[in-house]
Structures are given as structure tokens and as C-alpha cells.
Amino acid sequence: MLPALRGQDRTQPPGEPGSRRLPKLRCRGDTAVVTLSRDELARLQRLRGIFLDDDLARAARTDYWRDDADLAAYARMLAPRIGWKWQAALAESRARGWRRTDQAVVLDYGCGTGIAGRCYTAAFGAGTVLCHDRSPRAMAFAAAALRQAAPGTAVHPASDVGAVRPDVLLVSHVLGELDADGERQLAALLERSAQVLWVEPGNRQCSRRLSGVRERLRGTWHILAPCPHPGACPALASADDWCHFFAPPPPEVFTDGDWVRAARELGIDQRALPYAFLAATRTAPSSAAPPHRVLGRPEVDAHQARVRLCTATGVQHATVQKRSAPALWRQLKKDPATVRNLP
């Protein structure tokens, strides 16, 4: 049974709960249409206020999903943006050797509307997906959405994950909401997991916390992506640095009037989808790591592009001259998210 949604038939993005069509098995949100009602805008403004609070862990200590309409509004406008980050992280993980997991038990921790589980299942498959959240309403919503998106996958809400040993642990935009206790619980779950894929906002604070998780894992886990080396995180060496990337939104968000209006109303910069991520496994990856990973966004002027690179010996700077490498300079200018490594 789907969560009850009101008055959204015309504009509901296919694949989200409440859609009349059964979606295909892929991570939706990439073409979502978002004609938002006043009520939905107000709900999203309230949620963004909570998410952007500087002291989020304190602000968000109680369940902020008041009803299914809160989740539905999030699913239409904010979850797709997180989905685009997941698509970027999943693509890079695949390129670094992450394999299909069709029989796996996948646990989406802090699932919210379940966008991480849907994106993951569409990309790599799953035998069973467990949707865990402190909010029972969110678990039910996410499970319903995933059942629609992936009818062949067993899906269960899971309020108690104390005994679960996931083959794949997914974490998405949760770290900033966890206090020390929550972080300890998640660390214990991580101990029982075989693989983890974790996506967080690309701001300094969240990214550095995620790098801290990586530091704790790297003795016993293999860090698959985005890191080009297994050593200490160079971004943590300087207080001003953080490991982050920018996911490309689909072009429709700039041309579709609904997206443009909704983003303006909510004060969302459509160009910026900063994210940090971590893909780690217990078994050694089969593919070799690249020599470096481009960080952040290049600084591009008429003659050159300046790029920051994560390497085994620290964060380094490189310059790409337009005169000697015009195609690469243009790619860094027009499509920087597609450049993970320099030749």
C-alpha cells in the first residue's frame, strides 16, 4: 500500500510514490517535473531550514517528518538532487571496480524517502533492501517507493538493525544529523558490513567528517573510491581543505520552467550539487587506482585551468594550458564534473 498523497497526479514525477505508472527499474528523479503547490513549497522551506541549520545534530534530534506530505514534497524536489549525486558516485564506483550485487542484502541507513536505495538498486541490483530510519513514516514511504521501482527485489522497513549484517551499507546525508551516540551506532553497523557506499553534502564540515570515517576504515578496509591511494587523507592535512566534487544536474533543470521557478522560490543554486562520497569494501579491488583524483571545481580563465589533485603525497596543484591542451581546457570549463583525472 502506498503512502497517501494528495493532489499530485498531474505533476508527480514518475517513479515516486503516488505515481500511477509503474516506473522502470532505474533511479528516477533525473527528469522529475516539479510544479510545486504553495503547501509543498512551505514544507520544503521548513525542511531546508532544518537541513541548513548550523547545529543540525541538535535541531534534528527529533523526527521532523510530520506526515507523508512532508516526505512527498522532499521526494519531488530535494531527493532528485541527491539522486544526481548518487548517480555520480555510483558511476565512479563502477569505474573503480564496484561489482553488481544482485543477491545482496542492502541496508539504506537513514533512508528518508529512499532515494539512495533506489539509485543503488537500479545501478547494481539487490536481493533484499532494508529501509532503516528513526522515522517509521520514512521507512514505510521508502519501502513503498522501492517496491514500485524494483518489483523483483524484496523490500522491508527495518526499525531494528542491531543484528543485521549488510552486504552493502548505504548512507546518504545522515552524518550531519547524528550525535555521538548515533555515530557510534552507525560505526557498529559498519563493523558488520561487507561494503559501504556513503554520500554526504560536499560542504567542509560534512566532507571532513566523512574523511574522518575513511581514516578509521582504512586500516581494515579497501577504500575503492574516490581516493587514488590508501594513505592518510591529504584533505585533512590542512584545516581549509575538504574532499568534494560537483555532480552535474540534468540540463532540464535549467530549461524547465517548473524546475527554474521551484529552485528560485527555495533559493537553490541549480548549478551547484556539491557532494562527498566514500566507497569501501572488505575485499581488495581488482582494478588499479588512478594516480590522482581531481578535487572540487577547477578555476578556469581565458588561458588556463587550475586544478587541485589528490595524490598519495598530498594535495597538489596542476595547470592545464589552453594553448597546449585546448580540448581538456574546454572540458574543464564546460563539463568539469566529467574530468576525474588528468592525462
Q: How far apart are CA 210 and CA 7, in angstroms?
A: 39
Residue at 93: amino acid letter: S
Nearest approach, Cβ of 126 to ligand SAM (angstroms)?
16
Is 70 an interacting residue with respect to ligand SAM (CB under 6 A)? no
Per-residue binding letters, 10-49, with ligand SAM (x by CB under 6 A): ----------------------------------------
Q: By the 8 A CB rule, do 157 and 129 touch?
A: no
CB 11 within 8 A of CB 37: no
135 binds ligand SAM (CB under 6 A): yes
Binder to ligand SAM among 34, 73, 82, 129 (CB under 6 A)? Answer: 82
Please report where in the chains the cell 581488495 appears, as a residue: 284
145 binds ligand SAM (CB under 6 A): no
Cβ atoms 222, 283 nearer than 8 A: yes
**182 near ligand SAM (CB under 6 A):** yes
Nearest distance, CB of residue 99 and ligand SAM, angstroms: 23
One residue of 3, 29, 110, 336 binding ligand SAM per CB under 6 A: 110
Nearest CB to ligand SAM, comparing residues 83 and 234: 83
Place of cell 543554486: 269
- Interaction of residue 79 with ligand SAM, rule CB under 6 A: yes
Q: Assess 161 for contact with ligand SAM (CB under 6 A).
A: no
Q: What type of residue sits at position 250? A: P
Smallest distance, ligand SAM to C-beta of residue 343, A: 34
Cβ partners under 8 Å of residue 106, min gap 6? 117, 120, 121, 126, 128, 129, 130, 166, 167, 168, 169, 170
204-217 and 180-191 are packed helices; what angle lies between their axes, rounded to 10 degrees? 40
Q: Is 107 near ligand SAM (CB under 6 A)?
A: no
Q: Nearest approach, Cβ of 49 to ligand SAM (angstroms)?
A: 12
